[in-house]
Amino acid sequence: MAMKILHVCEYVRGGITTYLNEILKHQVGAREISSVVVLMSQYNSDRIHIEGVQVAYYRYQRKLVKFIPAIIQINRTIKQIQPDIIHSHSSFAGLFVRLCFFFKRKRPKIVYCAHGWSFLMETSRVKKKLYGILERVLAKQTDRIINISQHEFIGSQKYKLPAEKSLVIPNGIEKRLNKNQDILLTLDPAKLNLLFVGRFDRQKGIDILIDFFKSNPLKHVRLYTIGENVLDPVLMKIPETIVSLGWIDHNQIDSYYEKFDAVIIPSRWEGFGLVAIEAMKNKKPVIASNRGDLPELVQNGVNGYLFDLDHLEQLTQILNTVSKQGLKVMGEQGFAIFQERYTDEKFNQQLMAVYLQLMEGKGHPMDHQTHLDDQAQM
């Protein structure tokens, strides 16, 4: 019997949009699945247009007074759809979904992906401890916990989330490039042209990058940004020396990656650096902070460079010593890593295995330790 899948999200923006699109394109055509529905916030979400996927919305903003109404709306939709599996994305969506079933004996199978654990983010020790306790309690109403990187899995174990329910499935994206868009952007070939892609908020470290170029005006380097404010209420002021390209439709993003020498990721924390594998797919090297899972994705001196946010002189040295030819070689090496580890086929095969195992009532779909050993051998 084919499965009915309900994906429940909070805000669908940026990396979450990419993640969902990769899942939905596969699931809507899978013979094992009869229907796919996405439920997400009406506010601050991208629109998803995939034939065969039903999209529903709930009225919500990230305010405490909106939590109970959100839970009621989500519960109502679950009752209408009667899904076999609910796949919840992000901490708040995971909270809302699992609270719906906390005092019920019967429920669908629940798969939960935090897309970056709250207790691994930059916050106080007290908050981290509280987040850990909350996740452990909610895990009782969860059948599978998907970690998007080894870094996330190891962190979850420090906060004692159930290992028997946990596994690692790195994100994957399609190999096909969307380069059918003509974009009006001319770069100076004499400069080292860097691209930042992401939300303009504290996590992504755009403020670090702006301050760095203010205090280190490297004449041979030009920084371009793609993104906008999503979570932070204060608008980020971009100086005239940095070119802001605004928020770009994801169908056009490959056409932009193609034009640059390297992609820069100055994140303070990162569950999985989706921008890094997008860059690798486009044969672009990545210059990234050594935070979160970025050291898993970027091999220093192979497909890019890592630098310490507390020692930005390392970034200065990198930018003053790299050559365009050297970056091109690194881009090719990154592409080979992408093809081996981060394609949509591998990603979706692993996720479908989780769904099928749950429906068949079998045990853990894959051994996370084997996954970690395989990664270590690569």
CATH architecture of 3-174+343-377: 3-Layer(aba) Sandwich (3.40)
In the chain, where are the structural domains located? 3-174+343-377, 192-341
Maximum pairwise Cα distance, the chain:
66
Whole-angstrom Cα Rg for the chain: 21
Between CA 88 and CA 6 the distance in angstroms is: 8
Write the pLDDT tens digit of every residue in 107-164.
Answer: 999 999 999 999 999 889 999 999 999 999 999 999 999 999 999 999 999 999 999 9
- The CATH number of the structural domain formed by 192-341 is 3.40.50.2000
Residue 199 pLDDT: 84
pLDDT exceeds 50 at position 59: yes
Check residue 2 and report its DSSP letter. Answer: -
Write the pLDDT tens digit of every residue in 264-281.
Answer: 999 999 989 999 999 999
Taking alpha carbons only, the member of 254, 232, 256, 230 closest to residue 243 is 256
Between CA 142 and CA 371 the distance in angstroms is: 21
Given a contact cutoff of 8 angstroms between Cβ atoms, the answer to whether 303 and 285 are in contact is yes
pLDDT exceeds 50 at position 370: no
Amino acid at 84: D
Between CA 263 and CA 334 the distance in angstroms is: 12
For residue 243, give the H/E element and its range.
Answer: strand 243-244
Residue 232 pLDDT: 55
Residue 104 pLDDT: 87
Burial string for 151-163 (b: 16+ CB within 10 Å, else e) reads bbbebbeebebee
Which band of pLDDT confidence, cut at 50, 70 and 90, is reported for residue 48?
confident
Burial class (CB in 10 A: 0-12, 13-18, 19+), 304: buried
Given a contact cutoff of 8 angstroms between Cβ atoms, the answer to whether 142 and 165 are in contact is yes
Taking alpha carbons only, the member of 198, 196, 232 closest to residue 213 is 196
| pLDDT, average across residues 228-253 | 74
Paired with 144 in beta bridges are 111
pLDDT exceeds 90 at position 297: yes
H helices of 102-169, in order, are 125-138, 150-158
How far lies 294's CA from each of 297, 298, 307, in Å?
A: 5, 6, 11
| pLDDT, average across residues 352-366 | 82
- Spatial CB neighbours of 306, under 8 Å, sequence gap ≥ 6: 288, 289, 290, 294, 295, 298, 300
pLDDT exceeds 80 at position 13: no
pLDDT exceeds 70 at position 284: yes
| pLDDT, average across residues 172-179 | 87
Out of 73-82, 94-103, 232-241, pick the least confident. Answer: 232-241
Taking alpha carbons only, the member of 184, 185, 175, 195 closest to residue 284 is 195
Between CA 288 and CA 315 the distance in angstroms is: 9
Residue 266 has φ and ψ, to the nearest 5°, of: -95, 35
Where are the extended beta strands (E) located within 17-172? 33-41, 53-58, 85-89, 109-113, 144-147, 166-168
Are the folds of 3-174+343-377 and 192-341 the same? yes
pLDDT exceeds 70 at position 106: yes
**Average pLDDT in the chain:** 90
How far lies 247's CA from each of 35, 36, 89, 350, 375, in Å?
A: 31, 28, 22, 31, 34
Token pair recorded at residue 236: 């980020």
Token pair recorded at residue 75: 């519960």
